[in-house]
Amino acid sequence: MRTSDLPAVRPKYFEDSDRFHVRLREFWHEYKKNRMAVAGLVIVIFFVLIGIFSPWLILHDPNEQDIFNRFQPPVWMEGGSWEHPLGTDELGRDLWSRIIYGSRVSLALGITVAFFATTLGIIMGLVSGYYGGTVDSIIQRIVDILLAFPYLVFAIALMAVLGRGVFNLFLVLLYKEWVTPCRVVRGEVLAARESEYVEAARAVGASDFHIMFKEILPNVFSSVIVVATLRVAWIILMEASLSFIGVGVPLDIPSWGMIIADGRGYITQYWWLSTFPGLAILLTVLGINLMGQGLRDALDPRLKE
Amino acid sequence: MSSPLLEIKGLKKYFLRQQAFWQKWTGKKEYIYAVDGVSFSVNKGETVGLVGESGCGKSTLGRTILRLYEPTAGEIYFDGEKINDLRGDELLQLRRRMQIIFQDPFASLNPRQTVEKIIGLPLKIQGMKGRELSERIDELLEQVGLARVHRKRFPHQFSGGQRQRVGIARALAVNPSFVVADEPVSALDVSIQAQIINLLQELQEKMGLTYLFIAHDLSVVSYVSDRIVVMYLGQVMEMGPAEEIFSSPQHPYTKALLSSIPRIGKKNPSTGRIILEGSVPSPLNPPAGCKFNTRCFIKNKPAACFHEPPPLIEGAPGHYAACHLLG
Amino acid sequence: MAELLKIKDLQVHFFTDYGVVKAVDGIDLTLQEGEALGILGESGCGKSMTALAVMGLVPFPGRITGGEIIFAGRDLCRLTEKEMRRIRGKEIAMIFQDPLTTLNPVLKVGEQITEAIRLHHEEGDLSPASGRRGFFRFWEDRRRREMAAWKKAVEMMEKVGIPSPELRMEEYPHQFSGGMRQRAMIAIALSCNPRLLIADELTTALDVTIQAQILDLMRRIKEDFRTSILFISHDLGAISELCDRAAVMYAGKIVETGSVQEITGAPFHPYTQGILASIPRLGEKEYRIKPIPGNVPDLGDLPAGCSFFPRCPYGQAKCKTELPPLEEAGEGRQVRCFYWRQIRAQREEEGGIGGELSFAGD
């Protein structure tokens, strides 16, 4: 069905829409139509707040051991106490505090890696798509190789060599995470490169830098945002996996993956040890994915003329 | 007659066709013969209309003249200076003097930029800033019939006609002397078309512009042009003064083109009409000899039509046609 | 001639987040059997929506909110989707501007035409049952039907002027040129002998030489098949080539109807005059075009009175507040303007189009 003939109406208050808050309001108008996306946003905000305010939310030092209170069950079960609302693990560490603190590593790592990886991916994608030819071939072959390699195996090997550590984890995740944004950006740039507005900019003598970053980038940005958001969820899962295997963050930093790993030996008797961190991962990833999909719907230019 | 502002000689532009990777090793290359040896000149202050069907290479020609595409062969002279190989600063200087207006006012304006930014870009590139820049933008908006309040708006907040005005303002920002208008009105509604045509003519008078007016709509071209170039499959079929082209077309293609135009309010419109058969052959594989030979309606063509490309012959002063039958 | 299609006070409204958009706002049209009616209008005037309403295909969030569409005695607005499907394609067929989006790129053109034929023909129509008994009867009948449909498809392709149809049947849409695709689409539309053919901006995307071919084809269809045509276009030239009568639409309303000769020769409505005055005339260089000032109004925010008032050279105070009715202005002629009589009188005095009018008093 052709939609060009459909009447396009915009309310009057969108008239001066170069103002940021007006555009934000327009975006929110689209976004809130999707209930699930709003739910996702609430979940994400909830976890981010937990991460920020964790020093005030914890009841114990997450690494504090209390050998006499091992395997204490959650508060609503027999033998539980408000001292340890979610119980304790095999060393008597407070599960509540560990999970709260674990959100810091997961979210911080997820967001920073996604940010740097996306930035790198955007630059590579712009260069690759805009210049084409040999540059494009080289970058895309690198991308192909990275995609063809079994990443988890490679990451385990690399971490084993580099050793545990947050920065090492950051590098190992970054090493591959730029690939997806790069692909997305390149695809969009290939389309935008042929557009008349780019040609118009070239006709007035604009530089390649200007065309790439000022003309094309704003137009591909919305899809990049969506991809980056969804990558955060993926990175959180990757971090949890690596920590679970034991090649992730150092032992003194509690991370969700590591808490699950700690509890896996006792899961038949003390189910809460792995279940609660697992739920935290599940909720966060679900929230981010819902949010990402909401962003996609709200930012998709096809829905907005 | 005044001296030519623009002169092109034997201009060719071939595009290498996208090939599968194995073809790189086999070395077989396919070309799209978009513009295949075109020569003409445009005098100062006149409007030359460039007509032809889609795929005839008229848009490619316009962009090659502007050096948006690198010419494959031939020469382009602008104001007596050869501009084929200009680079860097010299090319930037050229951009000041030649500009382009695009067909699709939806596609040619960046949807994420305000009008102010769009019009300001060429000025900024040429080094204007601050109040001077701001005043110049206002002045330009006024010239094309828009108002100051439009500065902060985005392209999607405008109607098609207004968008085209923004496109015109951008092209005229740097005070060019030569403007390629690539189908500037064909995406617009009839009543708006007339506004834009009148605006273009007004600006031409005021600023002494020279236009290369590319269009497929013959009635529009006949209205604005002093001289007309008819193209088919990358080559010039006929060129001459506008009145002569319309009153006494020489080339069979021009005749067919003219007779295809729907006439308003004419009874029995189909009588005496030449309806060409088939469609334009692919520029990947153009016919040998005269490029029009696959659709030419003339019976009993001489054998030369199929072997030799006909030369452009000056039948009347300034009126050229490329057809073996006219020789 | 009998009335085939009668549209009475049709309204199509779009319910968007930002308010109601009256895309079609009370139009009346009649189409006689075997007649070609042109609907002329600029983008966003509601002409395509009218066509889609007749097909029962108004896209979301639009809805037919009032009026009747009477086609061969039945009100199409009251039919169920199932009944509508039977009419669509078989009795009313529609062809679009862009055949690439309407032809399926992964099916051969021949298959698509054959399918259209088989979908809408009764079993016995295509080939009579073999009358044979026995186990293979079903398959044999089916094969015969397929063969018959294929043959009919070849015939259709021949009729719409596709050269060597047997070969072209085996090709895919992308192997066809623009004009050929348009013909294939017309062949699909005509394959069921529809009584009404709706063409939406059929020739807009085509080159002038191809446009001439397609218009010529449409004219032959009108004469040979006696199909009624609703021809929607913004191109007055194309309409005046093909149609007998024309209706001019502006902002969701009809502003003038009449025979093509009347509309193009002596328009009464200022908008129609304006359109005519904005078209350059071939080879008449002295003739200066006169554009209509301003822009097409926003359908979501129409002025209270005559919607053409802000652009009208003859506008008076009355036009600003009151909506002019569609008045009879002669045999089969209607105009929606308070002052068409004065305009006509002035025209007759001046003998030209679109002169400045001055009113004495009023």
Is A8 part of a structural domain of the chain? no
How far is C119 from C113, CA to CA, in rounded Å? 10
Per-residue pLDDT reduced to its tens digit, B107-161: 889 888 889 999 999 999 888 888 999 999 999 999 998 888 888 888 888 888 8
Closest chain C residue to A3, measured at CA: C59
What's at B12, amino acid-wise? K
pLDDT of residue A14: 45
- CA distances B168 to A77, B6, B106, B109, B165, Å, are 75, 21, 13, 11, 5
Provide the pairing of β-strand B178-182 with B98-101.
parallel
How far is C224 from C221, CA to CA, in rounded Å? 5
Structural domains in chain B? 4-263+270-326 (3.40.50.300)
Q: What is the torsional sign of CA B235, B240, B245, B250?
A: negative
Is A238 part of a structural domain of the chain? yes
Task: Count chain A–chain B contacts defined by CB atoms under 8 A.
Answer: 69
pTM above 0.80, yes or no: yes
Is A250 part of a structural domain of the chain? yes
CB contact B124 to A (< 8 Å): no
pLDDT of residue C295: 81
- CATH at residue A27: 1.10.3720.10
Which stretches within B144-272 are classed as H helix? 160-172, 190-207, 218-224, 242-247, 252-260
Are B270 and C240 within 8 A, CB to CB?
Answer: no
pLDDT of residue A128: 93
Q: Are B93 and B23 in contact (CB under 8 A)?
A: no
Range of the domain at A121: 23-299
Residues 151-180 of B with CB under 8 A from C: 159-162
Structural domains in chain C? 3-100+190-248 (3.40.50.300), 109-189 (no CATH), 268-350 (no CATH)
E strands present in C172-306: 196-200, 228-233, 245-250, 253-259
- How would residue A63 be classed by pLDDT, with cut points 50, 70 and 90? confident
What the block records as the tokens of B248 is 């006494």
pLDDT of residue A296: 82
Q: pLDDT averaged over consecutive 10-residue blocks of chain B (327 residues)?
A: 82 80 68 90 93 87 92 92 87 90 86 89 89 92 88 84 92 93 88 91 93 90 92 93 90 90 68 79 86 88 88 90 86
Q: Are A166 and A250 in contact (CB under 8 A)?
A: yes
Are C48 and A3 within 8 A, CB to CB?
Answer: no
Are A2 and C97 within 8 A, CB to CB?
Answer: yes
DSSP string, B10-45: EEEEEEEPP--HHHHHHT---EEEEEEEEEEEEETT
CB contact B92 to A (< 8 Å): yes
Q: Which residues of A touch C16 (CB under 8 A)?
A: 7, 9
Residues forming beta bridges with residue B21, ordered by sequence position: none
pLDDT of residue A285: 93
Provide the pairing of β-strand C245-250 with B31-43.
unpaired
Please tell me the number of Cα atoms within 13 Å of B237 on its side-chain side.
28
Closest chain B residue to C259, measured at CA: B265
Q: Are C51 and C29 in contact (CB under 8 A)?
A: no
Q: Which residues of B touch C207 (CB under 8 A)?
A: 53-54, 216, 279-280
Burial of A154 (0-12, 13-18, 19+ CB in 10 A): middle
Higher pLDDT, B21 or C301: C301
pLDDT of residue A13: 41
Are C207 and B258 within 8 A, CB to CB?
Answer: no
How far is B44 from B204, CA to CA, in rounded Å? 11
Mean pLDDT of C59-63: 85
Report the percentage of chain A scoring pLDDT > 70: 91
Is A116 part of a structural domain of the chain? yes
Q: Are B56 and B233 in contact (CB under 8 A)?
A: yes
Mutate to test the interface with C, among A3, A4, A6 (most CBs of C within 10 A): A6
Q: Which residues of A touch C49 (CB under 8 A)?
A: 5
Report the percentage of chain C scoring pLDDT > 90: 17
- CA distances A167 to A18, A109, A163, Å, are 39, 9, 10
DSSP string, A185-208: HHHHHHHHHTSHHHHHHHHTT--H
pLDDT of residue A11: 43
Mean pLDDT of A279-285: 93
Q: Which residues of C touch A11 (CB under 8 A)?
A: 18-19
Check pLDDT > 50 for residue A183: yes
CB contact A293 to B (< 8 Å): no
In chain A, the number of structural domains is 1
What the block records as the tokens of A72 is 């204490």
- Stated as kind and residue range, the H or E segment containing C328 is strand C327-328
Please tell me which chains touch A, using 3 or more CB pairs under 8 Å as the contact test: B, C
Mean pLDDT of C91-116: 85
Task: Count chain B–chain C contacts defined by CB atoms under 8 A.
Answer: 135
Among C289, C271, C270, residue whose Cα is nearest residue C279? C289
CB contact A153 to C (< 8 Å): no
